[in-house]
């Protein structure tokens, strides 16, 4: 009796860990390390896949990193990298995953060739004669790659994952489910802007891309100066007797919206309706670093630096669309674009 009870008790203790293990599926937070077989499956699953970008990607070796759902570096640091190296992709752009590198503690996703130039083996081959060598690689080497990368970072090692789980981790940067570029771009915008684009409306504070998605490319444009002498560009949509919209840009943002309705009413909106964070303008507004007093110079002692030539171009004048006349200031002080639109 005691022997039978002891046998059943030992069997139960042996089977209990197996039951707990079977009820606990593999998750990204599991303690199991990525196997070589799973590593190959992930690389094959993601390589050559085309995705849409949710956030700006700077060109170069330093891309973005994701850890515990948080993206680094900060938006301001990304804007600085973009100012220095340029864009590899903007929100809404479609890119291709060209390489997947799985390291001990990270998964590196390279897009559009990656941020580091990968040379072919034959570009290192040289032929020598009489003490000189000549490369046989053919085309000259590119000095700069045009792509970027996104790195998934882990604490100790890369756990067992599936391709779909990797896609979920990349969701803050990549959109794998968007059907087209317009849909992917709209998802990156604030809800108020998304609603305006769906209704084909323009809001003061939108940028040029947003206006194009909302109204299409403008059939007519004019460039002029306002009462304070500030340059602006105005996009004109519609023709009388239909509703006519005059969308004025100062820089890249809408500063004024003027609507002439079908019944002759004039609606003017100048108050900002969308407050977009303009990191580019913030960086441009920063004062350049001053050179130290003892900065090296190529001038000889006693020489003075020649004044820089005046490279300022003549102010841009208004240009009409085909078949229209050049706008001029009409009597009474009316805005020139009213005359251009035939109002």
pLDDT digits (tens, 9 = 90+) for 131-156: 676 665 554 544 557 899 999 999 99
pLDDT digits (tens, 9 = 90+) for 277-316: 554 454 444 444 454 555 555 566 666 655 444 444 444 4
- pLDDT of the residue at 109: 95
Domain boundaries, the chain: 27-185, 189-275
**How much of the chain exceeds pLDDT 90, in percent?**
42
End-to-end CA distance of the chain: 107
- pLDDT of the residue at 338: 46
Confidence class for position 61, pLDDT limits 50, 70, 90? confident
* CA-based R_g, the chain, Å: 30
Per-residue pLDDT at 331 exceeds 50: no
Please tell me the distance from the alpha carbon of residue 93 to that of residue 23, in angstroms, as a whole number.
42
In angstroms, the Cα distances linking 59 to 51, 97, 332 are 17, 15, 52
pLDDT digits (tens, 9 = 90+) for 73-95: 998 899 899 898 899 999 889 99
| pLDDT, the chain, mean | 76
Confidence class for position 326, pLDDT limits 50, 70, 90? very low
pLDDT digits (tens, 9 = 90+) for 173-231: 999 987 777 777 888 888 899 899 888 999 999 999 899 988 999 999 999 998 889 99
* H-state helical runs in 131-202: 163-169, 181-187, 191-198
**Minimum mean pLDDT among 50-54, 180-184, 241-245, 332-336: which range?**
332-336
At residue 338, the 3 state secondary structure works out as helix
Look up residue 207 and give its DSSP letter. Answer: B
- pLDDT of the residue at 288: 47
> Whole-model pTM?
0.53
Query: Could you please report the per-residue DSSP string of 57-116?
Result: EESSS--EEEETTEEES-HHHHHHHHHHH-EEE-TT-EEEEEEEEE-SSEEEEEETT-SS
- pLDDT of the residue at 24: 41
- pLDDT of the residue at 181: 78
At residue 58, the 3 state secondary structure works out as strand
- pLDDT of the residue at 139: 47
Per-residue pLDDT at 21 exceeds 80: no
Residues 38-51 have a mean pLDDT of 92
Torsion angle, alpha carbons of 319, 200, 54, 42, to 10: -120
In angstroms, the Cα distances linking 83 to 58, 88, 162, 310 are 9, 12, 36, 25
Name residues whose C-beta falls within 8 Å of residue 54's C-beta, 6 or more positions apart in sequence: 91, 171, 172, 173, 174, 175, 184, 187, 188
**Minimum mean pLDDT among 92-106, 108-122, 180-194: which range?**
108-122
pLDDT digits (tens, 9 = 90+) for 221-273: 999 998 889 999 999 999 888 899 999 999 899 999 999 999 889 999 999 99
């Amino acid at each position: 009796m005691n022997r039978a009870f002891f046998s059943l008790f030992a069997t139960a203790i042996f089977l209990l860990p197996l039951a707990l293990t079977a009820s606990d599926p593999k998750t990204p937070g599991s303690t199991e390390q990525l196997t070589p077989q799973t590593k190959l499956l992930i690389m094959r699953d993601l390589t050559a896949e085309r995705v849409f970008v949710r956030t700006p990607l700077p060109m170069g070796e330093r891309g973005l990193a994701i850890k515990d759902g948080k993206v680094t570096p900060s938006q301001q640091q990304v804007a600085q990298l973009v100012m220095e190296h340029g864009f590899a992709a903007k929100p809404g752009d479609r890119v291709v995953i060209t390489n997947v590198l799985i390291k001990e503690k990270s998964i590196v996703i390279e897009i559009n060739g990656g941020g580091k130039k990968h040379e072919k083996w034959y570009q290192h081959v040289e032929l020598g004669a009489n003490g000189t060598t000549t490369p046989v690689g053919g085309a000259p080497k590119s000095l700069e790659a045009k792509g970027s990368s996104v790195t998934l970072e882990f604490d100790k090692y890369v756990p067992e994952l599936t391709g779909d789980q990797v896609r979920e981790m990349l969701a803050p940067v990549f959109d794998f489910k968007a059907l087209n570029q317009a849909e992917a771009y709209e998802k990156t915008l604030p809800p108020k802007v998304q609603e305006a684009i769906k209704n084909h409306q323009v809001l003061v504070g939108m940028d040029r891309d947003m206006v194009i998605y909302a109204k299409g490319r403008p059939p007519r444009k004019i460039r002029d100066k306002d009462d304070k002498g500030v340059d602006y560009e105005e996009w004109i949509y519609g023709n009388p007797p239909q509703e006519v919209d005059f969308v004025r840009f100062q820089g890249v943002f809408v500063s004024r919206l003027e609507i002439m309705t079908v019944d002759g009413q004039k609606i003017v909106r100048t108050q900002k309706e969308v407050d977009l964070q303009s990191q580019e303008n913030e960086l441009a507004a920063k004062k350049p670093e001053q050179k130290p007093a003892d900065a090296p110079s190529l001038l000889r002692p006693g020489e003075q630096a020649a004044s820089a030539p005046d490279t300022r171009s003549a102010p841009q004048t208004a240009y009409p669309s085909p078949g229209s006349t050049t706008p001029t200031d009409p009597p009474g002080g009316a805005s020139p674009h009213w005359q251009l639109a035939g109002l």
